[in-house]
Copies of this chain bind each other. A is one copy, B any other.
Amino acid sequence: MPRRVDHRERRALIADALMRVAAEQGLEAVSLRHVAAAAEVSAGMVQHYFRTRDEMMTFALAVVSERNEARVRRAVEALGATPAPRALLRAMLAALLPLDEERRADGRVALAFLAYTAVRPAVAAALHGETTALLAFVAGQIAAGSPLVADGRVDPERAAVGLLAVMEGLGVHVLGGHYPPETALAALDAQLDLLFAPG
């Protein structure tokens, strides 16, 4: 039966199991054997598609990034053509917040990877690029949509850094159980109110 399998599919299947393990027990519980058990395959198969544990981790990190990217894309597309900057930003950022159980699980994994890459700078490239790209886009939307930019009361770059930080911080706090998702969403709206306030 060999020769007929799709490598990408298998790797995705394994990465999926990895993320389930990581979401429930943390990245330190991610071992070849645990992942294999979660995927209901043999440990040998996992080793066949990922020659080392690091390779598997790096792949999973890329999957996390792609999932978030896809989430943002879907949220934006749902808005139709030429949405207002504020609505666009709200949709994007809300899509990245851990507001339902699926995003909570992914968020826990992402948080674990944040700590993971903070100690392994070599692997950090994936998340780094993502943030940088988002930053530029957000700054553009703020420049285009905030009335406070014209009179110099808001600097788009700085405001973008702040807005993305708000999102990240709200996510972390919600994952830590410090307050419920609704509170985070309300705070995000308040932040957008501040940024797009008239006068």
Contact = CB atoms under 8 A, between A and B. Distances in A.
Interface stretch (A4-12, A25-33, A38-46, A63-71): A25-33
A164 B174 CA distance: 12
A101 to B, nearest CB: 14
Given A115-B111, A175-B118, A177-B124, A183 B161 contact: yes
A124 B9 CA distance: 37
A140 interface: no
Interface stretch (A75-83, A84-92, A188-196): A188-196
A197 interface: yes
Interface string A167-183: 11110110111110001
B191 A162 contact: yes
A47 to B, nearest CB: 20
A24 interface: yes
Interface of A is mostly: helix
A177 B112 contact: no
B115 A154 contact: no
A150 to B, nearest CB: 15
A37 interface: no
Contact of A118 (B111, B120, B127, B128): B111
Contacts of A13: none
A136 interface: no
Contacts of A51: none
Interface of A: 23-28, 108, 111-112, 114-121, 124, 127-128, 131-132, 153-155, 158-159, 161-162, 164-170, 172-173, 175-179, 183-184, 186-188, 190-191, 193-195, 197, 199
7 contacts: A108-B118, A111-B118, A118-B175, A131-B173, A161-B184, A161-B186, A166-B166
